[in-house]
Amino acid sequence: MGKKRKVTCSFNRLEHSLQYLTFFKRTVENYAPEVHSILDASIPASKRAELFEQLLPIDEIEKYSWAIPDQRALRIIQHFSPIVEIGAGKGYWAAELRLLETDVQAFDCRVSRDSWTHVIQGGPEVLSRFPSHALLLCYPDDFESSSESLSLNCLEKFKGEIILTVGEWFGTSALADNPYGKSFGQDFQEQLSLSFHKLLQVPLPSWRTSSDVLMVWKRSRVVEVDDILFRDTPEEERIEKQPMAVSSLRSLLDL
């Protein structure tokens, strides 16, 4: 998917790879037993509120990112390099990718002074400069500072073939009142599903109130038959053809 270019990361703050994953695992291991069951419906609301204070280390999450990269996720993203990331935040995912010598260009509308790696100020408007890059979007739509969907703006301007999404998605969200989750707007999810088809989906380490996945999407070809538009998706790229089941039902998939 393109030649890889070695990028040297001289930022002392990133001392070794997968710092955030290490911190996440250590934090979860040190939870009090009742914190693990915070979403148990039998727990009184007052108790759940108390436990919630112990659940999310907000300062550390803001230091790194909401989504947690692991080795598999980074390896998958690297496979599709060169990468352009829009909404990179403090650049933690980009820093981890650069440690793997991945060619990644990271942009955000606001550049933080304590970024993990070099992040350039910019947004969807820069995508025209990277027509051969895959697009990486990690938790782009929090709708806290703007009512606009960054992901949808990117989709409208992106002309490449591959989009990688990191965060919650329809069907994976942990939120009971929002099946689309807190990472990508509904309009983006619907539009992406119309013009791209999914090649890959893997779960990511997630805080208890999230359910993040990494997905890889490829632009679909469209054909017209009797005034009806169909997607020309090769059989080998149809992920919905693969059987899936929870662990307790996997035996039912045996032929």
pTM of the model: 0.87
**pLDDT (0 to 100) of residue 230:** 82
Confidence of residue 29 (pLDDT cuts 50, 70, 90): very high
For the domain made up of 62-248, the CATH class stated in words is: alpha beta
C-alpha dihedral over 134, 223, 233, 161, to 10 degrees? Answer: 0
Q: Tell me if the bond preceding 82 is cis, omega within 30° of 0.
A: yes
Residue 28 has pLDDT above 60, yes or no: yes
**pLDDT (0 to 100) of residue 16:** 52
Q: How far is CA 49 from CA 39, 67, 183, in A?
A: 11, 23, 23
Residue 254 has pLDDT above 80, yes or no: yes
Q: Where are the domains of the chain?
A: 62-248
Confidence of residue 234 (pLDDT cuts 50, 70, 90): confident
Of the candidate ranges 104-108, 158-162, 236-240, the one whose mean pLDDT is the lowest: 236-240
Of the candidate ranges 58-72, 151-165, 214-228, 234-248, the one whose mean pLDDT is the lowest: 234-248
Instruction: Find the length of the chain.
Output: 255
Mean pLDDT of 68-76: 96
Confidence of residue 97 (pLDDT cuts 50, 70, 90): very high
Contacts of 189 by beta carbon, 8 Å cutoff, 6+ apart: 169, 170, 180
**pLDDT (0 to 100) of residue 11:** 42
